[in-house]
Amino acid sequence: MSKLPHIGTSIFTVMSQLANEHQAINLSQGFPNFPIDERLIEIVAKLSKENVHQYTPMSGLPSLLEKIALLTQQSYGRMVNPASEILITAGATEGIFATIQALVQSGEEVVILDPSYDCYEAPILLSNAKPIRVSLHSDFTPNWDAIRAATNEKTKLIIINNPHNPTGKMWSEHDFLQLENLVETHPNLLVLSDEVYEYIRFEQPHISVHHRRKLWDRSISISSFGKSFHITGWKIGYVIAPESIMKEIKKVHQFLVFSVSSMAQHALNAYIDWVDVTEIGRFYQQKRDTFRQLMQATKLELLPCEGTYFQVASYAGISDENDVDFTRRLVTEFGVATIPISTFYANGTDHRCIRFCFAKDDDTLQKATERLMKL
């Protein structure tokens, strides 16, 4: 008998396979198609000949942990202990899984804000706990009345994602004040903050749980080198949490992967000395602006994109189809793969919106929009 009977192949895999079958341009799955930084390639080539191929310590390469602590201080003004409050993980997904498995007990509840990324629910169910899905407002801002109504003495975690996948929305100062009030009201509530797109933000600054001193003792943040440095296939991220919480997360982590790729950790340890994370947002803002300009020639209505490398568009003025059927037709008839937003909702809410990934080279974006102009 399946422990996850209702969970099948992810929509990302489905759409990428469909794109391959129809030789479509794949703007569905969130991975870049352009080369990584040449400096990182050179570092990897040099390291491959050195003695860096055995296990690193379970928590992570000590020098890399120290550099993450420094990066956190430089980015957010928060000092964390590299030895006890940081954990290198096999991607952000493993960090999320280990955190939920470590902290959530049978019978407890976890609030998820829909539309939401698909990796949150499974570890909750495997903990014999209950996911409580709360929809965001129609403009994808948090519905605090609904969130407060869904939170009670059984609620162990609220999962937040800022900048937000799939919508590219950013939380405001007001949202964090509301979150702080919620945590103060519920003394057992913890915050799992998915911040994998933290450096991919545009006109407005990204607000992190690291900015909020009131949340430090109650928050677990998730970050991704894969997202920040265009190396999604490396599957490497990190978790920051108070020592008492981190001890529990490490207990689970050591039996999932024990330690993460030594080559990747040594390479990032060298690379982080050279890279300026503020360049990441500027790089992707150029991608966003190029894509949005190209899309002006289509009939799709673009929604605001404040962060991440995803652009949501409404096709309500083009078709009455549900978004799953519409995205399938985009692949089969027009040769462009996207993601239907309804698949990010537990109840399948359909706003007739689709998600594009613009982390692609300009030629790919140009060719994709030329095809979309035929809609």
pLDDT in tens, 320-345: 999 999 999 999 999 999 999 999 99
Return the sign of the alpha-carbon dihedral for residues 310, 195, 211, 109.
positive
Return the sign of the alpha-carbon dihedral for residues 226, 283, 361, 359.
positive
Of 31 and 96, the structure prediction assigns the larger pLDDT to 96
| β-sheet with 130-135: strand ranges across | 86-89, 237-240, 219-224, 190-194, 155-161, 109-114, 130-135
Our measurement of the distance from residue 1's CA atom to the centroid of its chain's CA atoms, rounded to an integer in Å, reads: 31
In the predicted structure, residue 83 carries a pLDDT above the cut 90 = yes
Query: H-helix or E-strand containing 38?
Result: helix 38-47
What DSSP designation does 341 have? G
Rounded Cα distance, 223 and 92, in Å: 6
Percent of the chain with pLDDT over 90: 95
In the predicted structure, residue 7 carries a pLDDT above the cut 90 = no
Q: Do 143 and 279 form a contact (C-beta atoms < 8 A)?
A: no
SS3 25: strand
